Structure 1
Amino acid sequence: LVGPRPERPHFVEQLAKEIPLYKRRLSVKPGITGWAQIKQGYDTSIDDVRSKVRYDLSYIENMSFRMDIKILLMTFYVMIAGKGN
């Protein structure tokens, strides 16, 4: 359930050329929610994608069962409270 959100292959190749370490996101299973989704809204620019990649890499470096539970609880809160973008 928790992990970097998957991206379409065309965009993976394109973004990997523009963002260093982008493909490192592929080293873990994707999820339907993640640290980047909790911390930042939808992408509207390449800078937004860069920011989300930083969150994804932070998640990968620090992932644990406890962090996954925290992300799931925060996701639930965002959905219930209507705070999502």
Structure 2
Amino acid sequence: MGLLENQYDDAAEKDLKNSIDAINDLHKTVKSMQDALSNPRKKMIKVKSNLNLKPKAKDRLRISKFGRDFVKHFINL
């Protein structure tokens, strides 16, 4: 509990989840390709084109709710 909080933690969790989902999709695609090569009757799954992973987590500080209340109470009397 402080006047400032780090914005990095919130976005880092979302970035990690997106990375895990992309890796799982790639794993499924590679597995289907291996199955299709061993058995020609099976179809290959295409690689999704939306696998552009750009991390959105940036190390920024923002004022917390406690900090806003602190400023309202002591500064803006």
The TM-score normalised by the length of structure 1 is 0.23
Q: Which has the higher strand share?
A: 2
Bigger radius of gyration, 1 or 2?
A: 2
The TM-score normalised by the length of structure 2 is 0.25
Higher relative contact order (CA 8 A, sep 6+): 2
